[in-house]
Amino acid sequence: STKQKAILEINTGFLAAPAARLRGWLAALDNNNAQGEYYLTDVVARAVTEGTSVRGISTDRIEEVMGINDRKQLAVQERCFQQRQADACLQAGVTLLDPARFDLRGQLHAGQDVVIDINAVLEGQVTLGDRVSIGPNVSICNATVGDDVTILANCVIEDAVIGAGSRIGPFARLRPDTSLAAATHIGNFVEIKKSEVGEGSKVNHLSYIGDTTIGRGVNIGAGTITCNYDGANKHRTVIGDNVFIGSDTQLIAPVEVKEGATIGAGSTITTDAPADALTLSRAPQKTRSGWKRPVKQPKG
């Protein structure tokens, strides 16, 4: 009818009512209609008949009452929710370089002057200190990040603590139970798991550190691996303060490298390395004069 066409509101299907009364109204519903269906909206008429106050609540945010019937509609609603999350972060003083490419899937507690680049995904409980900078394509889950930390592109951080003034990445992975003290450097293609890294220590390139305690002022050379798994059990590695580990070193846990020790590049360390000494295990270098590289012979 013309009167019905003049109505500018719709029923979204959301209904709130006193539970005890609602049960009675629902029990009294019938399907005496052309479609033979039970209509939830008939509850309203029954409430009015009993003299119960009925009030409509309108909203100017259409996305809050949108129905979700397929994956596309779910994705649209998710983007609406994420836009509200981004807006809240912006209002709180967080700089988002592109609010449309930011996902917050938990709770964020951010300090002052935090900058987050595109495609960052924050999950669970995330705390970012003052002046934290997060690069593009970073995933952070249940982590605490101290003041003045820089996290470069393509890092994955989960259940970890990062001390103030540290620098992470690019392409670094911090796995659960990792704790970094202040001013640590964790570089590209480094994975750290269930380990503590002391203040000012550096693991800058292509290393795996697992089940390890690293002291202060330690330098871990490129390609260093803590061999923590013997096929059945995990074992710990302990590295003291001011240790220098040369590149391409394997530390066979359980093992301890004591304070001030130096490990020569290419070593496989199977027993404890003493303090303030050079330890290395390396096959002697040999040169064979006149040696010729094998040459492929023509076929046929």
Give catalytic residues, as residue numbers.
Answer: 205
Contact at 8 Å (CB) between 102 and 108?
Answer: no
Report the distance separating Cα 87 and Cα 96, nearest Å: 9
Report the distance separating Cα 204 and Cα 190, nearest Å: 7
Instruction: List beta partners, residue 96.
Output: 116
**Angle at the Cα of 228 from the Cα atoms of 226 and 232, rounded to 5 degrees:** 160
Specify the 3-state DSSP secondary structure of 51.
coil
**Angle at the Cα of 221 from the Cα atoms of 215 and 222, rounded to 5 degrees:** 135
Beta strands at 160-162 and 150-151: parallel, antiparallel or unpaired: unpaired
Report the distance separating Cα 251 and Cα 226, nearest Å: 5
- The 10 Å Cβ neighbour count of residue 76 is 14
Written as six digits, the tokens of 275 are: 């303090």
Sign of the four-CA dihedral 83, 86, 88, 93: negative
Identify the DSSP state of 283.
Answer: P
For the chain, the C-alpha Rg in angstroms (whole number) is 31
Report the distance separating Cα 130 and Cα 124, nearest Å: 19
Q: Which amino acid is at 224?
A: T
Alpha helices (H) in the chain, listed in sequence order: 2-5, 19-27, 42-49, 71-91
Specify the 3-state DSSP secondary structure of 300.
coil
